Amino acid sequence: MTAQQAAKEYKQVEKRGNMVFLKNSTGKNISVSKNTKVYHRGNGKFGLYSSTRDKKRASKGLNQLSPKSKSYKVGKGGYRHTKDGR
C-alpha cells in the first residue's frame, strides 16, 4: 500500500500536504511522500517497502531435502505470503 492509503486506514498516521508522517519499526517518526510504498508491521509501526529487499527475503518453503515429503516452494514474488500451502 502507499503511504496515502495507510493514512486513510490507520489513525496513527498523520498526513500534511504531500507528506505522510508515520513510525518506523524502531518507533522513530519519519516523513515520506504520499506515493511511497509502505507495509504495516503491527503496533502502529510501518516499514518502507522495497522490491529488492523483498527478493532477498527468499522463502525457505518446506523441507526441500527430505525425499519423503512433497516438497515445493512456498511462493514467490508478490504472492509469497499468501501461497504457503498450509
Tell me how far apart the alpha carbons of residues 48 and 2 are, in angstroms, rounded to a whole number: 10
pLDDT tens-place string over residues 4-62: 999 999 988 899 999 999 998 888 999 999 999 998 888 889 988 887 777 666 555 54
Measured from the Cβ of residue 7, the count of other Cβ atoms closer than 10 Å reads 20
pTM value is: 0.58
Confidence class of residue 83 from pLDDT cuts 50, 70 and 90?
Answer: very low
